[in-house]
Amino acid sequence: MSTKINTIIIGAGHSGMAMSHTLVQAGREHLVLERYSQVGETWRRERWDSFGMVIPNWAIRLPGAEYDGAYPDAFMPRGEFIQLLETYASKYQMPIQFNTRVTSVEKHPSGSGYWVKTDQGDFEAQNVVVATGFFQDSRIPELASSFPQDILQLHTSQYRNPQSLPEGAVLVVGTGQSGSQIAEELYLSGRRVYLCVGKSGRMPRRYRGKDALEWLKVTGFLDRTLEDLPNSRARFDAAPQLSGARGGHTLNLHQFARDGVHLLGHLQGIQDGKLSIAPDLMESLQRTDAFEAGLLKRIDDFVTRTGIDAPAESLPVLRDGYDTPIQTELDLRQANISTAIWATGYRFDFSWVKPASMDSDGFPVQRQGVSPCPGLYFFGLPWQDNFGSGFMYNLGKAAEHILEDMLERERVMNR
């Protein structure tokens, strides 16, 4: 036997709850299905202890829970954000069913609506909103299986703090936001850190009197669409290096090198406990520096063009990383490395949403969250319409768009 309900939202993260709030305010029958036992569980399970939001407080604009505190330019610690989500769900009495894992979404045999199958029974719904997020499964390269058994291996989602790791040096693979922040925390704690540098860019935390996110917003950087990218795969590039910890600050690999971090090229392989390292460190550093230079030029040009009040500023130019000797091999035992942390990102998988069409990259075919299948929606993802579509301050507008599509479909069906 199945339960009938107008709308099912899959996922009770911040996106799913933003959608639920919009439906609650509209008086729409719906149910949120959440695989864990409480809201915000991903933030509890998959973020390290000192994690702080990378976006400033003013950008936390969940519909009905917009930040209105005394510190709009500060950065909310993980614990405060989890509390915000708990209060959000309680205040608006969101109908959430916990401990329910969705196994598939299928077209209903009647031809109208969808059949949502879960480990707690099935549901029949006219509308389904998939709000499971972009970061679903940890990505760890196959070569990890060749590491010595006595080396602790963790994905960034499993890392908690330096004290939880065995004594010894740490290898961090990847320099996106998570990898860079964790590497910084480790070396500031006194750990010897070896860091395989990736393709991520760098942004200054603040420039010319504004936070980086505000500049991304006002200059139209977040409005970029797929047509503005060199190729469709570029939408999955790691986020630029940036931190909200300790009041928010810039992350700079050249500063890391100055402070004693061993910068390395890409990890290519491993045999008998010896890593094979690509000789591409300088190219990666140049790419990182070029990203920041391009962003600063975009900002400077915008200020010149609009005449807004933003006093000129020159950022420190660091080049310590370019003095790093190129290393193509690293013996894990000689380096006393006891832990490897994989900052290699996540995979997404929507294959369980059976009616949905996927593009060549496996990303759902949709427009502003509305799929070609009537009543099937994707919510809270970047690049639904543009780069900034998944940011918290855009969720209210995006949810209203989905609600309008639901209402229009009902009007057409009831004619």
Q: Is the separation of the CB atoms in 215 and 292 below 8 Å?
A: no
Q: Please check whether residues 10 and 95 belong to one and the same domain.
A: yes
Average pLDDT across the chain, whole number: 95
pLDDT of residue 379: 95
Same domain, 108 and 250: no
Phi then psi for residue 189, to 5 deg, are -85, -5
118 and 80 part of one domain: yes
Pair 281, 302 in one domain: yes
pLDDT by residue (tens digit) across 168-206?
999 999 999 999 999 999 999 999 999 999 999 999 999
Whole-prediction pTM: 0.95
- Check whether residue 144 and residue 43 sit in a common domain: no
Query: How many domains does one find in the chain?
Result: 2
> What mean pLDDT comes out for the span 40-69?
94
Task: Encode pLDDT of 202-252 as tens digits.
Answer: 999 999 999 999 999 999 998 888 888 888 888 888 889 999 999 999 999
Domain boundary at 289, 321, 342, which?
A: 342
Say whether both 280 and 361 belong to one domain.
Answer: no
Of 297, 316, 342, the last residue of a domain is 342
Query: Residue 121 in contact with residue 8, Cβ under 8 Å?
Result: no
268 & 377 share domain: no
Sheet holding 169-173, edge to edge: 152-155, 337-342, 169-173, 193-196, 262-264
Residues 381 and 309 in one domain: no
pLDDT band per the 50, 70, 90 thresholds, residue 146: very high
Among 295, 311, 342, the domain-final residue is 342
Q: Does residue 253 sit in the same domain as residue 373?
A: no
What residue spans of 189-280 are helical by DSSP H?
Answer: 212-218, 253-258
Domain assignment of residue 279, given as a range? 139-342
Based on the fold, state whether residues 182 and 105 are members of the same structural domain.
no
Both 294 and 145 in one domain: the answer is yes
Give pLDDT, residue 389.
84
Q: Are 41 and 103 in contact (CB under 8 A)?
A: no
Residues 380 and 274 in one domain: no
Contact status, residue 33 vs residue 10, Cβ threshold 8 Å: yes
CATH code at position 78: 3.50.50.60
Report the distance separating Cα 52 and Cα 66, nearest Å: 18
